[in-house]
Structure 1
Amino acid sequence: MFLAWNEIMKNKLRFILITGVLMLVSYLVFFLSGLASGLENLNREAVDKWDATAIVVTEEADKSMPQSSMTLGDLDDIEADDIAVIGQLNAIATNGDKKANVSIFGIKKEEFIMPEVSEGEEFAADNEVVASDALKDDGFKLGDELKLSSTEETLTIVGFTEGARFNAAPVLYGDLASFQRVKFGEAAGENEDQINGVVLRTDNLSNVTNSESLEVVEMEEFITSLPGYTEQSLTLSFMIYFLFVISSVIVAIFLYVLTVQKISMFGVMKAQGISNGYLSRSVIAQTFILAVIGVAVGFALALITGAFLPAAVPVSFDITALIIYGLVLIAVAIMGAVFSVWTIVKIDPLKAIGG
């Protein structure tokens, strides 16, 4: 460690460049991790608020709630500790020059998926809704009347709830009757028992239903089946893993070049009796110091960047994941130093000093 630190202090510019590269790579890894987490939250916020075990949809819906079509009569075929019915519809909501894609949830207020209201009040009358507070960023406020692209019905915002987006769209919660009027229009009376799914809380999923037309989907599987969710997550994860490889290669190249430049010096040191183990540990220690500094600075910059980003940028940092990624970056940097260690071990002192 003594030799490693002294060399860093003596050749500050070289090692600042290496640390700078490590800092930029780690900053990008941390930021991509925050972006991946933020985008995942955009898709699953409302579902996570349910704190549910599973959802029942029709077999032919392919685990998609919008594609599922059920009736309240199907509840007779479902047994669980706690049950909540839900209808779901995507629409475009406008109020003057304000416009937003929304997901409308038709629910029963007395059931467990009713959200906690953070501002305003719960819906109590026809066509009243509790909206995701994400709509505030688009300029919507309490009392706004929303015109919808799919119907002539208008909905009135009477309350807001925190963290309620489904498949990246802010959610509007209303009663089932309002939902059915929005979805079916004049035919709502004929479809008053229509729903899209049944959300469950239960300890035993094996005996939920015996109906061949219904499928019980565990909540995590339901989330990963949302359109684009898995593809988006895999893409960002692949980018992060590829950056680990890049980090290792960059460190390996930098340290190898520095080692080659110091072959004669290492030869002299070995001729004086300094062991390969001591020199190897010095290179590893040097890499560890540089990696820790670079990763720490990248970590701090990512958090600072996230604090100043506008709400429209979906970044959410999971500190545990960032720490794990930081440790991995340090580990792959040390792995990149192995090439330099191998070069040092192969140095012949006599040849290195020109003997």
Structure 2
Amino acid sequence: MFLAWNEIKKNKLRFILIIGVLMLVSYLVFFLSGLAEGLKDMNRESVDKWDATAIVLTVESDKSLYQSSMSLENVDDITADEIAVITQMNSIAGNGDNKTNVSIFGINKDEFIMPNVTDGDVFTNENEVIASDALKDSGFKIGDKLELSSTEESLTIVGFTNKARFNAAPVLYTDMSTVNRFKYGEAVDANKDTINGIIVRTKDVSSISDNQDLEVTEIESFIQKLPGYTEQNLTLNFMIYFLFIISAVIVAIFLYVLTVQKISMFGIMKAQGISNLYLSKSIIAQTFILAAIGVVVGFGLTILTGAFLPSAVPISFDIPTMLFYGLVLIVVAIAGAVFSVLTIVRIDPLKAIGG
């Protein structure tokens, strides 16, 4: 450690360049991890808000809430501690100045999936909605009349709830009769008992239903089947994994070049009796110091950047994940130093000093 630190102090510019590269790589890794976490949240916030065990959909729906359609009578086929029904539709909502894609959930407000209201009141009449607070950033407020692309009727925002997005779209919560009227129009009477899914809380998932037309899906599996969710996460995670490899290669190249430049010096040190183990430890210690400084600076810059990003950027920092990635970056950097260690071990003192 003594030798490693003294060399860093003596050749500041050279090692600052290495730290700078490691800092940029770690900054990109941390930022991508935050982006991946933020995009995951955008897709699953409202589902996590249910705090449910499973969801019951029709077999033909392929685990899609929107494609599932069943009758309220199917609730009689369900055995669970708590049961909630839901109907869902997608639309474009506008308040005259702004428009955005929304997902509308029809629910019963006396059931457990009823969201908490963080601002305003709960809906008490038809056509009243509790909206995701993500809409606030888009210029929506309590009292706004929302015109929907799929109907001539309008909705009124009476309250807001936090963390309520589904498949990246802000959610509007209202009563089931309102959603069914919007979906079926004049045929609403014939479809008044139609729902999209049944959400349950229970300890024994296997005993929820034996109806052959219904499929019980655990919540995490349901989330994984959301359109684009898995593909999006895999893409960002592969980018992070490749950055780990790139980090190892960069460190290996830098340290190898530095080691080659110092072959004669290492040869003299070995001729004086300094062991390969001591020199190898010095290289490893030097790599650890450089990587640790680069990762810490990159971590700090990422948190600082997050504080200034607009709310429209879907980013969420999971500190335990970031710390794990930081540790991995340090480990792969040390792994990249192995080539330099092997070079030192192979140095012949006599040849290195020109003997």
TM-score range, shorter chain: over 0.9
Counterparts in 2 of 1:126-205, with a 5 A limit?
126-205=126-205
Cα deviation for residue 190 of structure 1 reads 1.4
Instruction: Classify the secondary structure of the residue corresponding to 1:111.
Output: coil
Name 2:69's counterpart in structure 1: 69
Cα deviation for residue 272 of structure 1 reads 0.3
Q: In 2, distance between residues paired with 1:266 and 1:186?
A: 87
Name 2:25's counterpart in structure 1: 25
CA contact (8 A) 1:85 1:197 kept: yes
Instruction: Classify the secondary structure of the residue corresponding to 2:222.
Output: helix
Name 1:287's counterpart in structure 2: 287
Deviates more, 1:88-97 or 1:333-342: 88-97
Give per-residue Cα distances to partners, 1:221-275, cap 9 Å, x unaligned: 0001000000000000000000000000000000000000000000000000000
Q: In 2, distance between residues paired with 1:127 and 1:253?
A: 64
Look up the equivalent residue of 1:66 and give its one-letter code: Y
Cα deviation for residue 293 of structure 1 reads 0.1
Q: In 1, distance between residues paired with 2:300 and 2:183?
A: 48
Q: Is 1:342 equivalent to 2:345 in the alignment?
A: no
Name 2:262's counterpart in structure 1: 262
Look up the equivalent residue of 2:354 and give its one-letter code: G
Q: In 2, distance between residues paired with 1:137 and 1:193?
A: 35
Q: In 2, distance between residues paired with 1:106 and 1:225?
A: 21
Counterparts in 2 of 1:188-227, with a 5 A limit?
188-227=188-227
Name 1:55's counterpart in structure 2: 55
Name 1:100's counterpart in structure 2: 100
Q: In 2, distance between residues paired with 1:122 and 1:96?
A: 23
CA contact (8 A) 1:118 1:160 kept: yes
Cα deviation for residue 76 of structure 1 reads 1.1
Give per-residue Cα distances to partners, 1:291-328, cap 9 Å, x unaligned: 00000000000011011100000000000000000000
Cα deviation for residue 186 of structure 1 reads 1.7
Name 2:117's counterpart in structure 1: 117
Q: In 2, distance between residues paired with 1:239 and 1:277?
A: 36
Cα deviation for residue 59 of structure 1 reads 0.3
TM-score, L = length of structure 2 = 1.00
Instruction: Classify the secondary structure of the residue corresponding to 2:325.
Output: helix
Q: In 2, distance between residues paired with 1:257 and 1:218?
A: 53
Name 1:234's counterpart in structure 2: 234
Instruction: Classify the secondary structure of the residue corresponding to 2:129.
Output: strand
CA contact (8 A) 1:264 1:353 kept: yes
Instruction: Classify the secondary structure of the residue corresponding to 1:191.
Output: coil
Name 2:247's counterpart in structure 1: 247
Q: In 1, distance between residues paired with 2:296 and 2:156?
A: 48
Q: Which structure 1 residue ranges, 5 or more long, are not aligned?
A: none
Look up the equivalent residue of 2:185 and give its one-letter code: G
Give per-residue Cα distances to partners, 1:28-63, cap 9 Å, x unaligned: 000000000000000000000110000000001000
Q: In 2, distance between residues paired with 1:206 and 1:54?
A: 10
TM-score, L = length of structure 1 = 1.00
Instruction: Classify the secondary structure of the residue corresponding to 1:258.
Output: helix
Look up the equivalent residue of 1:329 and give its one-letter code: L
CA contact (8 A) 1:63 1:217 kept: yes
| Two-structure CA RMSD over aligned residues (Å) | 0.5
CA contact (8 A) 1:89 1:105 kept: yes
Cα deviation for residue 115 of structure 1 reads 0.3
Look up the equivalent residue of 1:261 and give its one-letter code: Q
Cα deviation for residue 97 of structure 1 reads 2.2
CA contact (8 A) 1:34 1:315 kept: yes
Instruction: Classify the secondary structure of the residue corresponding to 2:312.
Output: coil
Counterparts in 2 of 1:316-355, with a 5 A limit?
316-355=316-355
Instruction: Classify the secondary structure of the residue corresponding to 1:210.
Output: coil
Q: In 2, distance between residues paired with 1:183 and 1:304?
A: 45
Question: Which stretches of structure 1, 4 residues or longer, exceed 6 Å deviation after superposition?
Answer: none
Q: Which structure 2 residue ranges, 5 or more long, are not aligned?
A: none
Q: In 1, distance between residues paired with 2:309 and 2:134?
A: 15
CA contact (8 A) 1:153 1:181 kept: no
Q: How many residues align?
A: 355
Cα deviation for residue 182 of structure 1 reads 1.2
Cα deviation for residue 72 of structure 1 reads 0.2
Look up the equivalent residue of 2:104 and give its one-letter code: I
